[in-house]
Amino acid sequence: MQEEELKSAAEKLRSGLISLGFSETKGGSLVKSGAASCVAQFFYNSGGNFAGICEELKERTEGFGAEAFSRYVVYEFVFVSCGDVYEDASDRVIMLRDLYNYLKKQGMVCDVIYYNAETGAYNNAGGGRVKSGELRTVLKNPSGVAANVPSAERTGGTFVPAYIIIGINAAIFITELLLRLRGQSDFIQEWGIQDNGKILSGEVHRLVTAMFLHADFAHISGNMLSLLYLARPMCRTHSPREFLTIYGISGLFGNILSFFFVDALSLGASGAVLGLGGGLIYKMFISPEKAYFKSTGNYISLALMVVYNLIYGLVMTGSGINNFAHFGGFAAGFAVTMLLEKMKRRNAG
């Protein structure tokens, strides 16, 4: 088979996984989060000689140690070529079996699979069945998977929750702007801004509504752009409900903290947004699944952006920045993300 034909066969397998909820990372891997997350990578070679790829994979994981890999993350490496997948004496089978043994010794939960693009047969170098149920389904029927999956199940890694939040904030801001241009009273901000005196008199809704209000265009554009950037990694590794939970609790906790320590009027989504930043920091540097999280993309610039915003608020004294909302939201996001991960692990048994 020609290189293009093998590439087409590999893409068919990838499309099948995407239709079953996997999302593609910048590096080309496919990922799906859940109680047991999965990372899938595909390689193809017309000659069936994968020596270079095997050595590269070994070099990437050399010296990591078992603590770098979570037992709740499965890595699937699929090598697409042509030729007998059951010939135990063949060089390619020995090579892939050696790769599997090496990765297993490193502490990685994985499969190394050889797939024959001509016949559709496949062989798991480690023996036993393929760990990912979605990948097993695709390997058995790569052409028929996408057509049989409801469209609602094809949205792995969706950014929909972030778009909804941005849409709500934008709609409120535009409405406020129109009221001001017409010279009318901005009753939305008057009703929703965080005013501690009115909260004490019973208007506790302000602890929530304040996170959907913004002072000006620079305020809302900065917050919503940050939200969009942070949504990319957080939506890929969390369900929409988990994402909204992290965002909402972070914003609420930040506002509660500022209620106790800040007397001035307050508004803005920055506490909730920095809660996503707290979740990002936890997933990148603390989580037992940090190796999996980092495999979904390079987020170091986002982590630096989060730290910069926290430090900027401390340095710029007298600027009106609500540091209690910022740090409260960040701490809440960190804690909620950690708690959600622990709950998923416990439910996974």
Q: Tell me: the pLDDT tens digits for 234-291?
A: 987 788 899 999 999 999 999 999 999 999 999 999 999 999 999 999 999 998 777 6
For 26-82, write each residue's pLDDT tens digit.
Answer: 778 999 876 568 889 998 876 666 788 888 888 887 755 545 566 678 899 999 987
* 3 state DSSP class of 273: helix
The pair of three-digit structure tokens given for residue 162, joined into one six-digit string: 């972030």
pLDDT interval class at 83 (50, 70, 90): low
pLDDT of residue 252: 98
* 3 state DSSP class of 236: helix
- DSSP strand E in 48-166: where? 73-81, 110-116, 122-124
Sequence-distant (6+) residues with CB within 8 A of 186 are 176, 179, 180
Provide the whole-model pTM.
Answer: 0.63
CATH 1.20.1540.10-classified regions of the chain: 160-347
For 156-203, write each residue's pLDDT tens digit.
Answer: 445 789 999 999 999 999 999 999 899 888 889 899 999 999 999 999
CA distance 123 to 6: 17
For 285-322, write each residue's pLDDT tens digit.
Answer: 998 777 667 656 678 999 999 999 999 999 988 778 99
CA distance 283 to 335: 11
Asked if 268 and 215 count as a contact pair (C-beta separation under 8 A), the reply is yes
pLDDT of residue 1: 55
Percent of the chain with pLDDT over 70: 85
pLDDT of residue 310: 96
pLDDT of residue 69: 61
pLDDT of residue 193: 96
Ranking 23-37, 137-151, 187-201, 330-344 by mean pLDDT, the lowest is 137-151
Evaluate if residue 154 carries a pLDDT over 50. Answer: no
- Give counts: helices (H), strands (E), the chain: 14, 6
pLDDT of residue 134: 86
CATH topology of domain 160-347: Rhomboid-like fold (1.20.1540)
Give the residue numbers annotated as catalytic, written as ranges: 270, 326
| Burial grade of 238 (CB within 10 A; 0-12, 13-18, 19 or more) | buried
